[in-house]
Structure 1
């Protein structure tokens, strides 16, 4: 009970906003959609980080919807800098006939990632998609094996300039 009342006092300080973050924590979520309000709540922030909860990031959707005007200033840049696990999503893909996540990954790499980011960053983004998906252990093992094989083929093709 102390745990809950502690967070209620924190939320009261911020005007009882963002109850969805509290609900997510109380329900033991593995992912939080967008997480825009997270920086306003330092105790929730630290709990999310300690529990290694992934934050869903939808860079193109956020820009199209007007939540961020310049993608380089997306709040996810801070999450990435703080080493939060992020999962790239399309958010409303049917609205603009999105064909997968390639463009979202590209935007994330080119505009949100730190200057020193490389293929390891892209690989981690892809692995986060598997790690934080709702899968059985067997499904996760199978997808990880397929991913590893595809990743090795991709690296081989990059090194040998075969596309």
Structure 2
């Protein structure tokens, strides 16, 4: 499939939903291998990857991001709190993003709920850590390089304003 896409000169990134389970060794768990070997750009959920150090290492080396979904992982019972998953990925320098999976199903309309849960759910995640996750979100998006540059510039400007607000309000 990838060879045909390349031959046609298309830019069609593979993005797989894999590893949304606690059932280590199941088909849902082992599809992480398939996604990585097929050259995915990032993996949706990827919850069970934290039990597979080799796959985390490959994601780090091959720059494959893992989408973390703090609220839905807790709702689905994949983890008892939002303290598991993205902190493990971050501590292993595995690119990860925070997304809001099916936000309409629980009445959310913005991503900030998941970022808030990620920040409050971990004693080790700080404002700079959230910045890294936000930057990885831009880097691993499916936007063109030009669009990524524009978005990153806009992010930089807004980040500066946000940090200044924190200093003014709490410093």
Length-normalised TM-score, structure 1: 0.78
Q: Supply the distance in 2 between the matched residues of 1:128 and 1:76 (Cα, whole angstroms).
A: 13
- Cα 1:85–1:128 change in 2 (3 A) is same
How far residue 21 of structure 1 moved from its aligned partner, in angstroms, is: 1.3
- C-alpha root-mean-square deviation of aligned residues, in Å? 2.2
Larger CA Rg, structure 1 vs 2: 1
- Answer with 87-96 or 27-36: which moved more: 27-36
Q: 1:94 aligns with which of 87, 104, 128?
A: 104
| 1:4 paired residue number | none
- Cα 1:120–1:138 change in 2 (3 A) is same
How far residue 144 of structure 1 moved from its aligned partner, in angstroms, is: 0.7
How far residue 60 of structure 1 moved from its aligned partner, in angstroms, is: 0.6
Give SS of 1:55's match.
Answer: strand
How far residue 76 of structure 1 moved from its aligned partner, in angstroms, is: 2.9
2:145 counterpart of 1:137 = yes
How far residue 113 of structure 1 moved from its aligned partner, in angstroms, is: 5.2
- Cα 1:61–1:23 change in 2 (3 A) is same
Q: 1:148 aligns with which of 152, 156, 164?
A: 156
Give SS of 1:70's match.
Answer: coil
CA contact (8 A) 2:98 2:133 kept: yes
CA contact (8 A) 2:45 2:66 kept: yes
| 2:118 paired residue number | 108
| 1:3 paired residue number | none
Length-normalised TM-score, structure 2: 0.75
Structure 2 gaps, min length 5: 1-23
CA contact (8 A) 1:76 1:112 kept: no
CA contact (8 A) 2:44 2:66 kept: yes
Structure 1 gaps, min length 5: 1-13
How far residue 22 of structure 1 moved from its aligned partner, in angstroms, is: 2.1
Aligned residues: 146
